[in-house]
Amino acid sequence: MVEQEGIRGTVSRREKKKRKKLELAMEVLSETGDRMAPIVGYFPSGYDPLAAGADPDVNVYRNKSKPNRLELVVRPPDCNVEFVGKSYAGEAAMPQLCTYALGVLDKETQTLKIVPIAANKILRLEPRLVNGDGERTEAGEEVIIDENKEHPMAELTQLYGTKKAKMVASKWKSIKRKVDDPSVLGSLEVGTESNLNDEASKDIEEPLVRNIPPYDASAVTPHNAYPLHKIILKGERSYLKDILETLKSEPNDGYNSKFWEENHYPCFVIHRLNKLRDMQDEAEKTQFASILSYITHLINFRKVAESVRWKSYRDYDKAMSEFMIPNVIFHRFLSIFLDPISNVLSSTKSQLLISYILVLTLHADDFRTDSADIEKDLAMTRASLKPYYLQLGCQVYKEGPFKKSLMTLPVPLVFKAQKRRVRW
pLDDT in tens, 13-71: 555 556 677 777 888 877 776 677 778 888 887 778 777 677 888 888 888 888 778 88
Q: What pLDDT is stored for residue 208 in this prediction?
A: 40
Using alpha carbons, select from 406, 303, 409, 403 the residue that is nearest to residue 360.
Answer: 409
Over residues 198-255, the pLDDT tens digits come to 444 444 344 445 889 999 988 899 999 999 999 999 888 889 989 988 888 777 665 5
**The model's pTM:** 0.53
Checking if the pLDDT of 135 tops 60, the result is no
Checking if the pLDDT of 119 tops 70, the result is no
- CA–CA separation, 11 and 17 (whole Å): 10
CB 392: neighbour CB atoms within 10 A?
A: 21
CB 380: neighbour CB atoms within 10 A?
A: 15
Q: What pLDDT is stored for residue 318 in this prediction?
A: 66
Torsion angles phi and psi, residue 49, rounded to 5 = -60, -35
| DSSP string computed for 189-247 | -----TTS-HHHHS---S---SSSS---TT-SSHHHHS-HHHHS-GGGGGG--HHHHHH
Instruction: Judge contact between 225 and 411, C-beta under 8 A.
Output: yes
Instruction: Judge contact between 404 and 370, C-beta under 8 A.
Output: yes
Q: How many CA atoms lie within 13 A of 230 on its CB side?
A: 21
Q: What pLDDT is stored for residue 232 in this prediction?
A: 93
